[in-house]
Chains A and B, each alone.
Chain A
Amino acid sequence: MSIANRCAIIGMGCTKFGERWDTSFNDLIVEAAYEAYADAGIESTDLDAGWIGFTSSSRTGESLAGPLKLDHIAVTHVENACASGMEAIRNACHAVAAGEYKMVLALGVEKLKDSGLAGLPQPGGMHYAHPVLLTQINAPAYYALAATRYFYRYGIDPKKGKEYLAKITVKNHYNGSMHPKAHFQKAVSMETVMSAPIIAWPLGLFDCCPTTDGAAAAIITTPEIAKKYRNDYVLVKSFGLAIGQGMGIVDTDYDWTHWEETEQAAKRAYAGAGVKNPRKEIGMIELHDCFSISELLVYEGLGLCEKGQAGADVDAGTFELKGELPVNPDGGLKSFGHPVGASGVRKVYELYKQLQGKADLPQRQLKNPKLGLAHSQGGHPGAFECIISIVGLPA
């Protein structure tokens, strides 16, 4: 049985994303959860289960039950790297759809700025990256490997390629400049982006999302119960989850120019939601732009354009706020920020608000956003865990 229309989101909360020096991990959880409770009109005592997504291993459900004082209900810590937050939502929905629980909390959180590191801590330690074979491996480098190959494969001069990527960054910063909860609320120029210091050539500073503190939360129940709380609840139409085998650095057939996990996850999500032509039927997309090249390749992975052709749509402004299919209307990871575990929930939060017509500023509000698609991917090329959620209003 499909998950379509069997789970409803009746409340969401999202903290201000950014450098939250005076706010702890637990504070972020409390902030996001209580905003979601208030939005749903529930008390924490109404909850009968919870899921928390973040990437620091060795923690348990206590990390959610503790700060929120949940009273011995079922709480699970889920982890799938940058997809952890959306995994919390997906697991929560499956449990509700199975009839086990009636009212649940799905929350994503990350407190990165306490570490003092440039980039992410190394989650999972030695069993994630071999201490000798895979040292000093970092996300920008992995995505840069894909950018170099993509430009090569499609005969794109790296300078032109960097221009496509810069336009994506400029778009996301512009969108984020209008969101009061975004990490960076500032538009940037092409010149600023193009002349930024190199992090991992061909990617520069503005091709990389920041490290951010933040949390976001969703209250999920059945559509029957949802009706008692509000009319503009948001229904889950489908999920698609696909996990790579990590063979991008082993298998000589892996091309480093397409995201296979995104394609596989999209196929399942579209089938579940009955989407035949995503470019026409999806009204807005929140996708995983941890690096500008990721967004470019996700356009292709989601089937929004032909392989190798995403640059033409970037030039045409297809995915801008006023374009044919707005992508990352809240600024995305680049501008809204990327507290790893929180981002998946934050993406759904933006779709939820847009569907309800409650984007905080009128100039941000999309007209008739139809279905919304949220895309999260963790890991790295060849070893992605990609999850896609499609959501919409009740008919």
Chain B
Amino acid sequence: MIGIKSYGAYIPLLRLSQAEIARAYDRGAGPGELAVANFDEDTITMGVEAGVDCMRGVDRSTIDGVFFACTTPPYREKQSAPVIAEALDLKRELITTDIGNSLRAGTTAMNLALAAVESGRANNVIVVSSEMRRGFPGSEYERLLGDGAASLLIGNSDVIAAFEGSYTISDEMIDNWRAEHDNFVKSWEDRFVLTQGYTRNVHEAVKGLLKKYNLKPKDITKAILYGPDARNHQAMAKELGFDLKTQVQDPMFGAIGNTGTAMTMMTLVAALETAKPGDLLLVASYGDGADAFLIRVTPEIEKARGHRGIKGHINSKRSNLTYNKYLRLRGLLAVEESRRPVEVSSPVMLLRDRETLLAFKGVKCKVCGRVQFPKQRVCYHCRSKDQFDEVRLSDKKATIFTFCVDHLAATGDPPTIKAIIDFEGGGRTLCHMADRNTDAVKIGSEVEMAFRKIHDAMGFHNYTWKPRLVRE
């Protein structure tokens, strides 16, 4: 049986309210808010978060592939999947790919993962979809788009939900696009985009799927449907014959916004969180055509409740983001250069230290047992030389030993909390905190590690892990 073995999701902590956007432009506001990635987050870091969530309870050495779906990857040339693979501490014999350029990339990646497992080429493939699209400041897209990520582990044993069928169509039209040098989403006139793009394609794929497997809408327990916005999502669900109250999974427009490529998978994760054995899920996505899947939930689902997923992130939020700060986080405000030494980096050091920086591995002395990060050659405690085992610290909890609130350091969101943290089981490091909260941080506070971008020195992205107060 081929299907989903595990799932994970990530929603950034920060939320921008529709009221705050409306305030910035002197107009009336609708309800709701958007999830907004922090200054040190991008689609890779959010993908890692979703991946870490998916890996809870999974033997990481069994993973054969990482497929990363995203239309907003940090690089035009250079793959993102290997960064995620290294951050998840996966093995080196691994199929990785990035799949992008379409809002359908997430479900395309699912399709390809299914094919890889079906063919026997891989046993377990993790599909990660992550997105942070931008609308022009003041545009309707700005009010619609949110940030987030989801991941599914697709494999051939112990599945919590089995794939029972799929239907895919390809279509060519200009509806939404970003050309080579565009940073913001562009689209053609509304009615054309809606009727000739979204509506026609999703309708055709869902009807095609139901017909192919001889099903009626009432046979579906939950429909997980992509939609450009809440109104058109509802219209689609209704037109396809699903009962809005009982049969349609909430795509979370009001809570996090339209998360593009990641949206269908995030909505599917939300559906899995409440699914019962035997439920039949219909998933449909849109973008340059449409994908539709049938997924049957198995009794194994009850073993997969330990993920943070959507439910663990959606109410864990900080909603006081101002529009001004949002512009700054997104790099849309010119800010004065700090009078501090310029950041530097070295691809040579990044390669040499990749297990330290990305997999966040320290060492444990075989002689005296002391855990040390970063790795040392000579033990600080017993002076044994080169007698160490590797220890991964990215998934260890830690507590704050001491901290300060640094107003001098150049950062995308000053001030910075610098903290010395002591890991459970040993080991200590000094780092900047992610999603800093100066009101809540205390000596003794419990923290968890979050993968973040440190800076863009030398024109490439430099990543490692930062602690943050445990998200609740």
Please give the residue numbers on chain A whose beta carbons come within 8 Å of chain B beta carbons, in ascending order. Answer: 116-119, 121-122, 125-126, 130-138, 140-141, 144-149, 152, 197-203, 245, 247, 249-252, 254, 256
Q: List B contacts of A122 (CB < 8 A).
A: 341
Q: Please provide the 3 A-B residue pairs with the shortest distance between their CB atoms, ordered closest to farther.
A: A144-B404, A136-B409, A201-B405
**Inter-subunit contact B380/A149 (CB<8 Å):** no
Nearest Cβ on chain B to A144's Cβ, whole angstroms: 3
Identify which of A131, A135, A140, A256 contacts B408 (C-beta below 8 A): A140
Say yes or no for B411: interface residue by CB 8 A criterion.
yes
Q: List A contacts of B430 (CB < 8 A).
A: 134, 137, 145, 249
**Inter-subunit contact B462/A200 (CB<8 Å):** no
**Inter-subunit contact A131/B349 (CB<8 Å):** yes
Nearest Cβ on chain A to B162's Cβ, whole angstroms: 42
Closest to B411 in A: A136
Identify which of A141, A197, A254 contacts B409 (C-beta below 8 A): A141
Render B415-436 as a binary contact track against A, CB cut-off 8 A, 1 for contact.
1101010100011111110000
**Inter-subunit contact A252/B374 (CB<8 Å):** no
Nearest Cβ on chain B to A245's Cβ, whole angstroms: 6
Q: List A contacts of B457 (CB < 8 A).
A: 131
- Complex Cα distance, B408 from A200, in Å, reads 7
| Known A-B contacts A132-B357, A138-B409; A117 and B341 likewise in contact (beta carbons under 8 Å) | yes
Is chain A's interface secondary structure helix, strand, loop, or mixed overall? loop
Say yes or no for B454: interface residue by CB 8 A criterion.
yes
20 interchain pairs (CB within 8 A)? A117-B340, A117-B341, A130-B374, A132-B349, A132-B350, A133-B353, A133-B356, A136-B406, A137-B418, A145-B404, A148-B404, A149-B443, A198-B405, A200-B405, A200-B407, A201-B405, A250-B376, A250-B428, A251-B380, A251-B428
- Complex Cα distance, B404 from A137, in Å, reads 12
- Complex Cα distance, B430 from A247, in Å, reads 11
Closest to B357 in A: A132
Render B30-66 as a binary contact track against A, CB cut-off 8 A, 1 for contact.
0000000000000000000000000000000000000
Identify which of B338, B381, B402, B405 contacts A149 (C-beta below 8 A): B402
Say yes or no for B373: interface residue by CB 8 A criterion.
yes
Say yes or no for B26: interface residue by CB 8 A criterion.
no
**Inter-subunit contact B402/A148 (CB<8 Å):** yes
List 15 additional contacts besides A198-B407, A249-B429, A250-B428; criterion CB under 8 Å: A117-B341, A130-B353, A131-B345, A131-B346, A131-B349, A132-B350, A132-B464, A133-B429, A133-B464, A136-B409, A137-B430, A141-B404, A249-B420, A254-B428, A256-B402
Closest to A254 in B: B428
Say yes or no for B343: interface residue by CB 8 A criterion.
yes
| Known A-B contacts A133-B356, A250-B372, A252-B426; A119 and B408 likewise in contact (beta carbons under 8 Å) | yes
| Known A-B contacts A145-B403, A148-B403; A135 and B428 likewise in contact (beta carbons under 8 Å) | no
Nearest Cβ on chain A to B367's Cβ, whole angstroms: 16
**Inter-subunit contact B345/A250 (CB<8 Å):** no
**Inter-subunit contact B429/A252 (CB<8 Å):** no
- Complex Cα distance, B356 from A245, in Å, reads 20
Nearest Cβ on chain A to B13's Cβ, whole angstroms: 21
Render B330-341 as a binary contact track against A, CB cut-off 8 A, 1 for contact.
000000001111
**Inter-subunit contact A141/B406 (CB<8 Å):** yes
**Inter-subunit contact A136/B410 (CB<8 Å):** yes
**Inter-subunit contact B406/A140 (CB<8 Å):** yes
Most buried by A among B340, B405, B408, B454: B408
Q: List B contacts of A197 (CB < 8 A).
A: 407
Please give the residue numbers on chain B whose beta carbons come within 8 Å of chain A beta carbons, in ascending order. Answer: 338-341, 343-346, 349-350, 353, 356-357, 370, 372-374, 376, 380-381, 401-411, 415-416, 418, 420, 422, 426-432, 438, 443, 454-455, 457, 462-464
**Inter-subunit contact B409/A131 (CB<8 Å):** no
Q: List B contacts of A130 (CB < 8 A).
A: 349, 353, 374
Q: List A contacts of B464 (CB < 8 A).
A: 132-133
**Inter-subunit contact B443/A152 (CB<8 Å):** yes
- Complex Cα distance, B431 from A49, in Å, reads 44
- Complex Cα distance, B403 from A312, in Å, reads 25
- Complex Cα distance, B339 from A149, in Å, reads 28
**Inter-subunit contact A118/B408 (CB<8 Å):** yes
Identify which of B406, B416, B427, B455 contacts A252 (C-beta below 8 A): B427
- Complex Cα distance, B454 from A149, in Å, reads 26
**Inter-subunit contact A132/B420 (CB<8 Å):** no
Q: List A contacts of B374 (CB < 8 A).
A: 130, 133, 250
- Complex Cα distance, B466 from A136, in Å, reads 14
- Complex Cα distance, B407 from A197, in Å, reads 10
**Inter-subunit contact B346/A126 (CB<8 Å):** yes
Nearest Cβ on chain B to A127's Cβ, whole angstroms: 9
Q: List A contacts of B381 (CB < 8 A).
A: 251
Nearest Cβ on chain B to A141's Cβ, whole angstroms: 4
Q: List B contacts of A256 (CB < 8 A).
A: 401-402, 420
**Inter-subunit contact A118/B340 (CB<8 Å):** yes
Nearest Cβ on chain B to A73's Cβ, whole angstroms: 35
**Inter-subunit contact A146/B428 (CB<8 Å):** no
Q: List A contacts of B420 (CB < 8 A).
A: 145, 249, 256
Q: List B contacts of A149 (CB < 8 A).
A: 401-402, 443
**Inter-subunit contact B408/A126 (CB<8 Å):** no
**Inter-subunit contact A136/B403 (CB<8 Å):** no
- Complex Cα distance, B459 from A181, in Å, reads 45
- Complex Cα distance, B401 from A252, in Å, reads 9
Identify which of B343, B402, B411 contacts A131 (C-beta below 8 A): B343
Q: List B contacts of A148 (CB < 8 A).
A: 402-404, 443
Nearest Cβ on chain B to A137's Cβ, whole angstroms: 8
- Complex Cα distance, B12 from A388, in Å, reads 51
Nearest Cβ on chain A to B400's Cβ, whole angstroms: 10
Nearest Cβ on chain B to A94's Cβ, whole angstroms: 28
| Known A-B contacts A149-B401, A200-B406; A126 and B373 likewise in contact (beta carbons under 8 Å) | no
Closest to A136 in B: B409
Q: List B contacts of A247 (CB < 8 A).
A: 380
Closest to A123 in B: B341
Nearest Cβ on chain B to A329's Cβ, whole angstroms: 30
Q: List B contacts of A250 (CB < 8 A).
A: 372-374, 376, 380, 428-429
Q: List B contacts of A199 (CB < 8 A).
A: 406-408
**Inter-subunit contact B416/A126 (CB<8 Å):** no
- Complex Cα distance, B402 from A200, in Å, reads 13
**Inter-subunit contact B454/A135 (CB<8 Å):** yes
- Complex Cα distance, B430 from A393, in Å, reads 45
Identify which of A133, A201, A203 contacts B357 (C-beta below 8 A): A133
Closest to A147 in B: B404
- Complex Cα distance, B430 from A146, in Å, reads 12
Identify which of B341, B380, B454 contacts A245 (C-beta below 8 A): B380
Identify which of A118, A126, A136, A152 contacts B349 (C-beta below 8 A): A126
- Complex Cα distance, B438 from A137, in Å, reads 18
| Known A-B contacts A145-B418, A249-B430, A251-B380; A135 and B343 likewise in contact (beta carbons under 8 Å) | yes
| Known A-B contacts A200-B405, A249-B430; A125 and B344 likewise in contact (beta carbons under 8 Å) | yes
Q: List B contacts of A117 (CB < 8 A).
A: 339-341
**Inter-subunit contact A152/B402 (CB<8 Å):** yes
